[in-house]
Structure 1
Amino acid sequence: MVLPPIVTGLSPNEGPPGTRVTIRGENFGQRPTDLIGLTICGHDCLLSAEWKAPSKIIAISGPGKGFGDIIVTTKLGGKGTCNVHFKGYYEHIGPMKESAVWVEEKPFHTFRHSLSASSIQIDDPLGLSDESNEKKIPEDDLNDKFPGSSGDLTSENFSPCRFLYENHHKTNFNDLQAGLLHLRRKVDGQKEGRLSFLKTNISAVLDQIDTLMVLKDKFEKDVKEYSPEPTLKFEKAIRESQREAGKLYTDLYTRGERVESTRNALNVLTRFKFLFSLPCSINRNVKKGDYDIIINDYMRVKNLFLKRDIPIFQTVLHLIEDKITEIKEKLHQKLVTMPITVEEQKKLIRYLVNLDSNFEPAWDAILFRSKYLVNRMEECYKEHKAIIADDMRKSKSPHAAKYSKYNASQDANACPQNIFYVEELSSLLSELFPDIWKLGQAYFIGELHVKVEPGHKTAFKHTVLNIMEAYCKRLRAALIPHTLDKTSDKTNYGTWSIPDIDTMAIYLPECLKYVRSAYSILFKLDLPSEALDIVLTFILDLRIHCMSIVFKKTIENVKEYDKQETWKVEISESHCGITELPLKFEQAIQQLIQSISEPVFEAEAREGLLVDNISARKEYEKQLDNLLTAFYNVLTNLVLKSPENDEDDDENQTAIVSQLIGTPTTVVYKSRGKSNIPIRERRLLMTLANCQYTSNVVLTNIVRLFTKSNYQIPHQMIKKTEENFKSLETSILENYLEQKSDPLVGTIEPSMYLGRFDWHTNFTPVDIRPYAKECINNLIHVHFEVNSVSSKLVDSILPQVVQTIAEELYRLMSCVQKFSLAGAQQALIDIGALQEFFEAYSTERAKNFFKEAIKLIPALNEQQSEIIKEVLKESRKKMRLQILCLQKS
């Protein structure tokens, strides 16, 4: 059971009309729609009520006066009760008070006397205290000085002078000025508070607006309903009624005569109603397209009235025959007018067969469909050639000169019209040819109930082959014109300007998709193998050409690598010291395989693998060999063709690497504005690292990539490429050693005999000779230079340098004519130190050279050899850092 609402609290509990009251209590409903009534002091305030919760409502009080109840009414609980009271009162409006409701136009003094003295207390408008005016001026004196006036602000005869004399006769002038400012501020404050005044009294203002709107709506409704002069409307209606009454009488009289005259004719026609109404029925059914009804009615009339010689019947029959002949011509015209669906054509063929037409509707439908497809191909070619001509005309226009750069950039990225032409041509074949084939099959299997004429099967097959031939030759002319048959007239299939390799490499795979899509539709139609083979041959040629173009584009890009070399060392997982070229080459191969893997390598229905075709395999191997050779040539060019600044290198670098004979050991060259290009020796090392990485890693990855795509790289080609790179490695290594080893070895002899040194000397050895230290330092410098590029090159280069040094020492020792004891000791110390320091990078041949050099020195006894051990021991302590530099990690 739902309890009635009850009001238990108000806030505030009194106020003038328009006071916002918060009502609290119980059972006010569960939703806003449950509240259906609210009265405050007997006045309906539901319009301003706002339901907040089952225990809270906010409303605006109405014009109620005195104490009263607030009654809430809900949909289920009904009318409620109130435990508290609300007091409504009207504020007294004075001359300084704004009001939102109508105020009676009575003099303010009338209700001033009706109120008690304490009911209205007006503050001093000047805001000045009158406590200093202890002695008030008598009323009689004021009346004598200001006759007929009053100092009361609410009086009609209010006099400002009397007010000041009465209330501020002892106030000084400065205070009066301050009071004037106070009064002005008070007035300005009231002006600024008008907006808040309107917000406070919004209910009263809205009531006034609603009342005016109601009056306006009622007035407009009356004008609209009755017009400014309603009697004119009634007069017009009466006259119209008179006119309609007269018309009804006249029509009734005329109709009676017409009925009598036609009754006799209807009696005559009723018996042969079907015959006489047939021409009209034919016209009506032609408009509706109900040819089945026309055929049935026509056959019925022929059976009933054809053999009757009654003239009127023959006249009607001739009229019907003329209409049927028109219908036959119309149906045949509709049959051969393209475009039209196959189902619609089958329906028209059936109509013509049932009407015994002299046409061959089925064969005509096939021929006109075939001609329509051929014509659409020709129109497609002309449309695209017109677009090309229009573009050329716009490009030559003088108005296009200022936008030439923009147009050039746009044209570079624009798809050639050849591609759009191939796409649209394939779409036309896919869309129109299946209808030709289905219609032909229906004709030959007897589905159309038409007699098949002799020779039509052969003619239809010839038509199909001609369509396939025209389609493929038009595609060849647009994409691969060099594959067109030399005996055929190429102008019959269009002439196109073939875009460059870069553009064709982008769009040829897409063209292959278009052609394959059309071929898949033809394959599902179960066409003869001769027709499918024509398209398959073109697809094979297009696959080969697409593969060749993509390869050629990649080759052209690879050939530019030597110009793009930045000589910035890249870090690889399997190698270091390489530049970006090997990785870039591998990425190019990956992109190439991605470009041709799906559209070229993968075979679809009846296509077969590409490498099974001899021509395709030869082209594949040729282009792949050209690609690998192109990268080999890039690395070769980087080694053999020096950059423009290599001549400056030769001029600014020193050829001798010995400090002992007056030149520095480090390479010195001047800045030439191209500091990002390293010196030639460093370029040789980087290129050598690139060769090794390409031979060991990149070629393996390339073989794996092609194998993953089910295409093998011939073993002979891989072997040939590896040999080329090995040969290039050897050439680069020899070139580098020539740059490093020859100058280094050439300075050993001058450094050895510097200061007129002679091995037949008598001084006691205390350290290894400077030339030996210089050899060690030079080898460390070479180690640093090679290791800074690639640590893997150290084991390839340093052993060759050590071997050259060992061979030179053996030669120099063999040229010594005589050793003293001290000279022999010094020679053994130098060679022993070099043997020990170079142990990590000494080849067997280098070790043999060191041994042979030692054999050339006179043998020493154990006591004479002690000084050698001591000197070598001290040398190891002094040159610990050099030993660490030449040790393998």
Structure 2
Amino acid sequence: MSPPPVVTGLSPKEGPPGTRVTIRGEFLGNQANDLIGLTICGCDCLLSAEWKSKNKIVARSGPGKGRGDIVVTTKHGGRGTSTVQFRGYHETYGPLKESAVWVEEAETNLTWGRRPMQLAASYAPPDPLGLSTEDENKFPEDDLHELFPDCSGDLSAENFHPGWFLLEHHHCTTFEDLKAGTLFLKRKVDVQKEGQLSFLKANTGSVMDQLDALILLKNCYETDVRENGKEPLKKLEKSIEEAMTEANKIFDDVLSRKDNADSTRAALSIMTRYKFLFQLPGNIDKNIAKKDYDLVINDYARAKNLFGKTDVAIFKKVLFEVEKRIDNLRNILHTKLQKLPISVDDQKHLIRSLMNLEWTGDAAWDAITSRCDYISKQIVRTRDYHVQLEASEDDSGKNHKGTKPAITSGGEWWPARVSLCGALCPLLTEALPDLWRLGQSYFCGELRGDRQPEKHDKFKTMILTTIELFCRTIRSALLPQTADRSAMSEKSVWNSQTAPNLCNWLAHCLRDVRETYNSLMRLDLPSEALDIVGNLIHDLKLYCMIGLLKQAVDSVKTFNKKETWKIEFDPQHGGITELPGLLEKTVYDVMNVIKESVLIACPREKPLFDTGSAAHKHLNNYIQDILNAFSKCLEKLAFSHDEQDSGQSPLSVVLGAPALMVLGGRLAEVDGHDGLPATPPWQHRLLITLSNCRYSSECVLPRILTFFDKNGYTKPILPIEAAKVLLKTLSKSIMEAYLEQKSDPLVGTIEPSMYIGKFDWNTKIKPTDVRPYAKECINNLIAVHAEVHSVSPSLVRTVLSQVLETVAEEFARLMSGCHGKFSPFGALQARIDVTVLKDTTLPLLTQRAKHSFEDALECIPEIKSEDDKKLKEQIIQDFQKRTKLQAICFKNC
């Protein structure tokens, strides 16, 4: 095996097809037979290859274009490689280029100047003046058009103008250069004239081939003239006529025999037709009796085709009998066509039968009108039946569960009006598509319907009237408040005084109407028809939402009866009952039901909550009603009490308070019978309700607002703000009532306790301790603290601060009334009592309470003796040590 051949050089490196290329390399074969393959630019050039040596081959290039490898293949070395490439291109022959073949000048593209490198395969002729045209400043083309109108600078154009050419390519060339270019052009033309003989010698092969073709063409033409003459068409025409004459002679006998056979066959057919015609009336009667109408139609059509234009008397008589029976059949089919119920396919079959029997009327239109009337009658009949059903229920005073239309498949009783909706929706869903399909078949020409515009309008009116009747009937039964004047007749059918509450049933009716609406949309009905049902659905959605919200309002109004007073403690808001959570759950539930049953996104349905729609207003109003009802329930729970609740002992809050107990987080009083918790006293109910108000305002209402936003509803900002105002007002009223119940008894015990035992501030007894009335006042405040803290720790500071204001004002009043009556020991005792009360409750004192205690101390004479001051401090310290536990409750509020 020899090494594979390698091409390392070639000359030239580019050229048009047929260029003689010298290929140099290594291992190009030991002899000429070793060379078995040669490709240049992908073209096989083995036939033109001449093996010179193992290092040299000479070949002609093929028609390849662009750059490509030169690959040599030898017997022993196989396919070789190339380190150099050959570039092939196709020359473009212009008007100044000699060529031995015809050149299409119209396709010649003469571009003077530098030839772009990327167009390697194209060829541009040189400048005829032999001058360089590399000037980048081109002469403006617009100026050229202005100077030489209707001319061109293209050398191949008929309107070529030399001035244009010179300005376009040589406007910067000097005159001397132009003179030199003119001499160059002259020499070139002279050389071409002198070189005609050499040109012919160089292209002898092509010229000889052309001469041979011309001589052959001349010989063929002369031979044809000698054989056929100068006018061969007459001879051809004569030959065709002779051929036609001979053909007619051959087929005359065959055609005559065919005519005889046709005559015989016609005679036999006439005999058969006679038998069919005479038996036709009897056969028609038999087939009508068997309801085989198609066979009758076929026989009748056959008889009409055979004997329709006969002049034979007997045939006319038989045909008269046939027509009488056919008229009877037409009437039978027309009656069956208008007798419903019947399927659309059967109606179409009857219509086609009548058309085949040449019915004079428009059978298809009669079928459409009869089907439309049937649907309307069915709607009215169904409505009347349910009206009577509701009347019978009202007369008996109870529901007739044995009546089928008012009973569901599971045995649940339905109101007659809801049952009407459940009956009408399937009726329209089944009947209207049949009417629509029948009409479409009529107008598309399937039933030969005439396409008169008035019938299109009539059919559209039929559809609209039927759907309007359906919607009007349902609207008058379920939504009589929305029925317009045109529906007064339907509205008056129902007894408005005994109309049931349908709020719980509107969602079910809405689902039925939506199913009907979806089935109608698949029919491609006019938009006016769909809008009628869409408006009904929109009203059903609106009043379904209103009904659900009304039920929520009614439910919230009964919250006061559902209050169990079971307290659950919230870390931030203290004790609350289940009412705030019940309000939140009620709002969530009703809005979720509205979202699932009312706000379902269905095609072509008008959104319920459009901008500025009535639904927004209704929703905000009913949310406001729900929150108002909740506020009224809290108000009823807070201020509904009997005399026993309000009857408290005026001596002491502690002694007058009922026995309290906390069982499982539930504040109640023991009723003394079975030990079970009962309703807490009124004062505790005030605190619980006050805590519910605060929790509802601060937690429940913001959560409701967030719930609306998350579920795609418009935030009810105004109802929420109004509810907060109501709850704030209610909280203020409850707080005032509670403070009145606590402050008045507590303050009322101070003065009697102060002077119990006929005590006088002008005493001569030296003080040894805080007087009992001050201790009792502190204990009473602790009792209030305990009561408030057991319900809502967050309210302790608010309540005690206001109670302390009234206590401080009472001390200021009492001390000012004793001004001038204090003995030294009495003044000392008074300062000890007031100071102890002030210091013990200091964390809860407001500025107003502090000023009142300061006013009380100002009314008491100053202590001048150091011993008395020490005694005061000693007594206060001893008291504070003994009451350290009691003082803790005031510090940790």
**TM-score category of the 2 structures, normalised to the smaller one:** 0.5 to 0.7
Shift of 1:602: 4.2
Partner of 2:434: 435
Corresponding residue for residue 515 of structure 2: 517
Amino acid of the structure 1 residue aligned with 2:643: E
Give the distance between the partners of 1:527 and 1:443, measured in 2 at CA: 15
| Aligned equivalent of 1:594 | 592
* Cα deviations by residue, 1:6-44 (Å, 9 ceiling, x for unpaired): xxxxxxxxxxxxxxxxxxxxxxxxxxxxxxxxxxxxxxx
Change over 3 Å in CA distance of 1:509–1:729 after alignment to 2? same
* C-alpha contact 1:559 1:631 (8 A) present in aligned 2: yes
State the distance in 1 between where 2:309 and 2:461 align.
47
- 2:398 and 2:422 map into 1 onto residues whose CA distance is 28
Corresponding residue for residue 650 of structure 2 = 655
Name the SS for the 2:598 alignment partner: helix
Distance in 1 (alpha carbons) for counterparts of 2:441 and 2:797? 81
1:790-801 equivalences in 2 (<5 Å): 790-801=792-803
- Output the CA distance in 1 between the equivalents of 2:397 and 2:689: 47
State the shift of 1:338 in Å.
1.6
Matching residue of 1:194: none
Which of 845, 848, 852 does residue 845 from structure 1 map onto? Answer: 848
Partner of 1:508: 506
1:495 matched to 2:494? The reply is yes
- Quick check: 684-693 or 800-809, which moved more? 800-809
Judge conservation of contact 1:638–1:687 (CA < 8 Å) in 2. yes
SS at match of 1:504: coil
* Contact 2:387–2:494 (8 Å) recurs in 1: no
1:667-746 equivalences under 5 Å are 667=658, 676-746=678-748
Q: Which residue of 2 aligns with 1:618?
A: 617
Alpha-carbon distance between aligned partners in 2 of 1:384 and 1:574, rounded to the nearest angstrom:
58
Tell me the equivalent position of 1:560.
558
Residue 735 and residue 759 in structure 1: after superposition, are their counterparts in 2 closer, same or farther (change >3 A)? same
Quote the Cα distance in structure 2 between the aligned partners of 1:611 and 1:723: 29
Alpha-carbon offset, residue 375 of structure 1: 0.8
Instruction: Report what 1:384 is aligned to.
Output: 386
Quote the Cα distance in structure 2 between the aligned partners of 1:768 and 1:396: 77
Gap change, CA 1:834 and 1:348, over 3 Å in 2: same
Residue 739 of structure 1 and its aligned partner are, at CA, apart by 0.5
Aligned-residue offset at 1:492: 7.7
Shift of 1:734: 0.6
- Look up the SS of the partner of 1:577 in the other structure: strand
Paired residues of 2:545 and 2:598 also in contact (CA < 8 A): yes
Structure 1 position 538 matched with structure 2 position 536: yes
- Return the alpha-carbon distance in structure 1 between the equivalents of residues 278 and 699 of structure 2: 97
Partner of 2:377: 375
Greater displacement, 601-610 / 429-438: 601-610
> Does structure 2 retain, via aligned residues, the 8 Å contact 1:477–1:490?
no
Q: Please say if residues 484 and 490 of structure 1, whose CA atoms lie closer than 8 Å, have aligned partners that are also in contact.
A: no
TM superposition shift of 1:517: 2.0
Shift of 1:516: 2.0
Cα 1:457–1:681, aligned 2, differ >3 Å: closer, same or farther? same
Q: Tell me which residue corresponds to 2:879.
A: 875
CA distance in 2: counterparts of 1:373 and 1:595, whole angstroms: 35
Cα distance in structure 2, aligned partners of 1:803 and 1:474: 70
CA change 1:475–1:779 in 2 (3 A) is same
Quick one: which of 318, 323, 331 aligns to 1:321?
Answer: 323
1:416 CA displacement: 0.6
The verdict on how the C-alpha distance between 1:734 and 1:391 changes in structure 2, with shifts beyond 3 A counting, is closer
Q: CA deviation at 1:780?
A: 1.1
Give me the whole-angstrom Cα distance separating, in 2, the residues matched to 1:413 and 1:694: 39
Change (3 A) 1:493 1:331: farther
Aligned partner of 2:630 in structure 1 is 631
Q: How has the CA–CA distance of structure 1 residues 805 and 390 changed in structure 2, closer, same or farther, with 3 Å as cutoff?
A: closer
Give the drift of 1:376. 0.6
Q: Structure 2 vs 1, CA of residues 396 and 293 (structure 1 numbering), >3 Å: closer, same or farther?
A: closer
In structure 2, the residue matched to 1:483 is 482
In structure 2, relative to structure 1, the CA distance for the partners of 1:723 and 1:379 (3 Å cut) is: same
TM-score, L = length of structure 1: 0.61
| 1:782 matched residue in structure 2 | 784
Measure the CA separation in 2 of the matches of 1:834 and 1:365. 102
Shift of 1:370: 0.5
Amino acid at match of 1:554: A
Within 5 Å, which residues of 2 pair with 1:328-407?
A: 328-391=330-393
Q: 1:829 to 1:280 in 2, by over 3 A?
A: farther
Specify every segment of 5 or more residues in structure 1 that has no aligned partner in the other structure, as ranges: 1-265
Is contact 1:479-1:498 (8 Å) kept?
Answer: no
Matched, 1:420 2:436: no
Structure 2: segments with no counterpart, 5+ residues: 1-267, 660-668
Letter in 2 for 1:595: V
> What amino acid is the match of 2:768?
V
Shift in alpha-carbon separation, 1:569–1:880, aligned structure 2, 3 A = same
- Native 8 Å contact 2:394 2:498 kept in 1: no
**Which residue is 1:831 aligned to?**
834
Which range moves more in the overlay, 820-829 or 710-719? 820-829
Structure 1 segment 13-162 matched on structure 2, within 5 A? none
TM-aligned CA deviation for residue 740 of structure 1 = 0.4
Distance in 2 (CA, whole Å) between partners of 1:584 and 1:305 is 91
Asked if the contact 1:418–1:496 (Cα under 8 Å) also holds between the matched residues in 2, the reply is: no
Structure 1 CA distance for aligned equivalents of residues 808 and 833 of structure 2: 12
Letter of the 1:621 counterpart: N
Alpha-carbon distance, 1:631 to partner = 1.8
3-state SS, counterpart of residue 778 of structure 1: helix
Which residue in 2 is equivalent to 1:768?
Answer: 770
How many pairs were matched up? Answer: 604
Q: Which residue of 2 aligns with 1:446?
A: 445
Conserved? CA contact 1:601–1:609, under 8 Å: yes
- Structure 2 CA distance for aligned equivalents of residues 583 and 658 of structure 1: 33
The aligned residue for residue 132 of structure 1 is: none
1:615–1:301 Cα change, 3 Å: same
Residues 61-82 of structure 1, C-alpha deviation per residue, up to 9 Å, x if partnerless?
Answer: xxxxxxxxxxxxxxxxxxxxxx
Alpha-carbon shift at residue 353 of structure 1 (Å): 2.2
Q: Distance in 2 between matches of 1:498 and 1:350?
A: 53
Task: Report the CA distance shift for 1:448/1:613 in structure 2 as closer, same or farther (over 3 A).
Answer: farther
Which residue among 743, 749, 752 is the counterpart of 2:751?
749
CA shift for structure 1 position 785: 1.4
User: Can you list the C-alpha shifts for 1:111-163, whole angstroms capped at 9, x where unaligned?
Assistant: xxxxxxxxxxxxxxxxxxxxxxxxxxxxxxxxxxxxxxxxxxxxxxxxxxxxx
Given that 1:477 and 1:496 are in contact with CA atoms closer than 8 Å, whether structure 2 keeps it comes out as no
Q: How has the CA–CA distance of structure 1 residues 520 and 859 changed in structure 2, closer, same or farther, with 3 Å as cutoff?
A: farther
Alignment partner of 1:506: what SS? coil
2 CA distance for matches of 1:449 and 1:520?
A: 31
CA distance in 2 between partners of 1:703 and 1:396 (Å): 43
* CA-CA distance at 1:506 after TM superposition: 1.0
Answer yes or no: is the 8 Å Cα contact 1:654–1:667 preserved in 2. no
Deviation for aligned residue 1:284: 7.4
Deviations 1:764-788 (A, max 9, x none): 4433221221111101111111122
Name the SS of the counterpart of 2:575 in structure 1.
Answer: strand
Q: Percent of counterpart pairs with the same letter? A: 40
Per-residue deviation at 1:395? 5.8
Cα distance in 2 for residues equivalent to 1:386 and 1:354: 46
CA contact (8 A) 2:785 2:796 kept: yes
Q: Quote how far apart the aligned CAs of 1:591 are.
A: 2.8
